[in-house]
Amino acid sequence: MRRLIAAGCSFAAFASAAPALTAAAEGIHNIQHVVMVMQENRTFDNYFGTYPGANGIPAGVCLPDPTHKTCGRPFHDSKDENVGGPHGTESSELDINGGKMNGFIEVASARQVCGRTRVDCRPCTEQQLTECIDVMGYHDAREIPNYWKYAQNFVLQDNMFASGASWSLPEHLFLVSGWSALCEGTRNPLECVETLSAERPANASYEWTDITYLLNGAGVSWRYFLFEGSEPDCASDESITCTPGSQSPQTPGIWNPLRSFEDVKQDGQLGNIQSLSNYYTDVQQPKTCGLPNVSWVIPNSSVSEHPPGLISKGQAYVTTVINAVMRSPCWNSTAIFLSWDDWGGFYDHVVPPSVSKAGYGIRVPGLVISPYALAGVIDHQQLSHDAFLKFIEDDFLSGARLNPKTDGRPDGRKVVREEVTTLGNIANDFNFNQPPRPPLILSPHPAPGPPSQPPG
């Protein structure tokens, strides 16, 4: 059994060991509503690299910095608006650099376009590079007090990896289907091939099987709630800035891929892709929980924390989404999984494991928030966003998997991600024998928290 660590209530105190709890066979069914809140473009070290007891930024880190002909160290970043770095497949490989995890500054320096003030793609000057290369920055409770409070009071996952070693599109494909593939020129799911260069949803027909196919067949309700507005839909997945594309439930997009899945269309389920306003209508039913069994909650650019989106706006949005559940009849039967889809070019020191040609990607933060969640615990299990699907399948589908040999709709995947032997079990983050814990209502606009100890 992998170890879970109790982090305690103090920002300054280090963790003490606590035993893992195995979910009782029926206990998981206390959760009748799973809400996946997926934000954008942050690493674990960028948000929790100095969180007490976590596997955070090591002492003495100094990465090659070609601009200043020296090396760059992690630093506390108090800015609300970040720039980040390129975060496509090639940049992921260069950042990881064969396991050295030292390419972040070099990649950002080579491809930086200086944020919103320089959209012509010309290189930054040395002075501009000094101002806009922020990939070694880290935030703490001074900038993200609510995220740190959720970690203190519920479960923080410090070994969570993006499912794909690339950008938003493959990550969102993994989020709904456990796979990222290309079905170019074929309508036969068995001919789809795993890739991180999946065709964009506006032009694509995704023929392989996603989780909604299993949910629909079992009579399990689901909805994909999308915040209307814009998404950073760049022509190149290596771009940092571009003119945002529009986003709506009716528009296929990198954050809205389900509209392009053939099984969703065949099942007549396109109407389950809805505006975020419907989420608040569902959750605010006065007497019973109106949420479906499975929900995805997807932001727009402004509140996504995807640079240049403000961190404070993203935290306020996420807090409002979570508060809505906590204030509702849904709270006592809900598990909220909060994470970030990819690394966004920011530094992280942990080498991602390899489970297939597509990933894992660089480590991202993960939080489990629920009345049955363990309190103030750090989960060190190896996880990816595939673990969300595994939990849903165990809770609502009697352990059925997106396995082409058993799911009734074969496709070409070679690795069933939920069955990877090293993948942990999010059910271990709960104590289903405890009475439901009360909600933790937080202000969307909190005062800054205390500073953390510097790395090491």
User: Residues 350-371: pLDDT tens digits?
Assistant: 999 999 999 999 999 999 999 9
Give the up-direction half-sphere exposure of residue 115: CA atoms within 13 A in the CB hemisphere.
18
What value does the mean pLDDT take over residues 414-435? 97
Bridge partners, residue 337, by sequence? 36, 368
Angle between helices 311-326 and 145-153 (to 10 degrees): 40
Domains assigned to the chain: 20-50+140-429 (3.40.720.10), 63-138 (no CATH)
With cut-offs at 50, 70 and 90, classify the pLDDT of residue 8: very low
Nearest CA-CA partner of 336 in 80, 139, 153? 153
CA distance 367 to 39: 12
CA distance 210 to 131: 43
Q: 415 exposed, middle or buried (CB, 10 Å; 0-12, 13-18, 19+)?
A: middle
CA distance 400 to 377: 29
User: Residues 192-223: pLDDT tens digits?
Assistant: 999 999 999 988 999 999 999 999 999 999 99
CA 17 to chain centre: 26
With cut-offs at 50, 70 and 90, classify the pLDDT of residue 3: very low
Q: Are 9 and 375 in contact (CB under 8 A)?
A: no
| Whole-number pLDDT of residue 293 | 98
Q: Is the pLDDT of residue 382 over 60?
A: yes
| Whole-number pLDDT of residue 223 | 98
CA distance 310 to 145: 15
Buried b (16+ CB within 10 A) or exposed e, 301-326: bbbbbbbbbbbbbbbbbbbebbbbbb
Q: What is the DSSP letter of 363?
A: B
* DSSP count for the chain of H helices, then E strands: 11, 20
CA distance 282 to 111: 43
With cut-offs at 50, 70 and 90, classify the pLDDT of residue 15: very low
Residue 174, phi then psi, degrees to nearest 5: -60, -40
What value does the mean pLDDT take over residues 383-397? 98
Q: 291 exposed, middle or buried (CB, 10 Å; 0-12, 13-18, 19+)?
A: buried
Q: Is the dihedral of CA 214, 200, 163, 11 positive or negative?
A: negative
| Whole-number pLDDT of residue 123 | 53
CA distance 322 to 104: 32
Q: Is the pLDDT of residue 125 over 80?
A: no
* Beta-carbon count within 10 A of 203 CB: 8
Q: 275 exposed, middle or buried (CB, 10 Å; 0-12, 13-18, 19+)?
A: middle
Of 8-22, 100-114, 270-284, 319-333, least confident by mean pLDDT is 8-22
